[in-house]
Amino acid sequence: MSWIVLLLAGAFEVVWAVGLKVSEGFTRPIASLTTVLAMAVSVVLLAMAMRSLPLGTAYAVWTGIGAIGAFTVGVVWFAEPLTPARVLSAGLIVAGIVGLKLSSA
């Protein structure tokens, strides 16, 4: 169950990361409110997951989900470049997340 909560926390991290972009420096009220709410939900879910997951694993997976999710949204929605170096780097983050998951109890 903790892993599912952590995945949800990571999903909300993607929402707030995208919200930061869309809010244009917190100048757009609805996007800003969505961003702040997603931040709060994400951190609360992370804290819940950390009740039974190791700190380093939970935090690294949470940030990794956020990083890969934000990278993907950036490429798909914001037409950010998809270069071989960026894909390789994202792949290394995914490999790290998988490695941490496989090595956790």
Q: Which pLDDT value is given to residue 105?
A: 60
* Residue 101 confidence (pLDDT) above 90: no
3-state secondary structure 31-65: HHHHHHHHHHHHHHHHHHHCCCCCHHHHHHHHHHH
Q: Tell me what the mean pLDDT of segment 46-63 comes to.
A: 95
Contact 76, 69 (CB under 8 A): no
Domain coordinates of the chain in residue numbers?
A: 1-104
Query: Using CA atoms, how far apart are residues 103 and 90, in angstroms rounded to an integer?
Result: 20
**What is the predicted pLDDT for the residue at 40?**
98
The position carrying tokens 């949204």 is 73
Summarize pLDDT for 16-25 with one digit per residue, the tens.
999 999 999 9
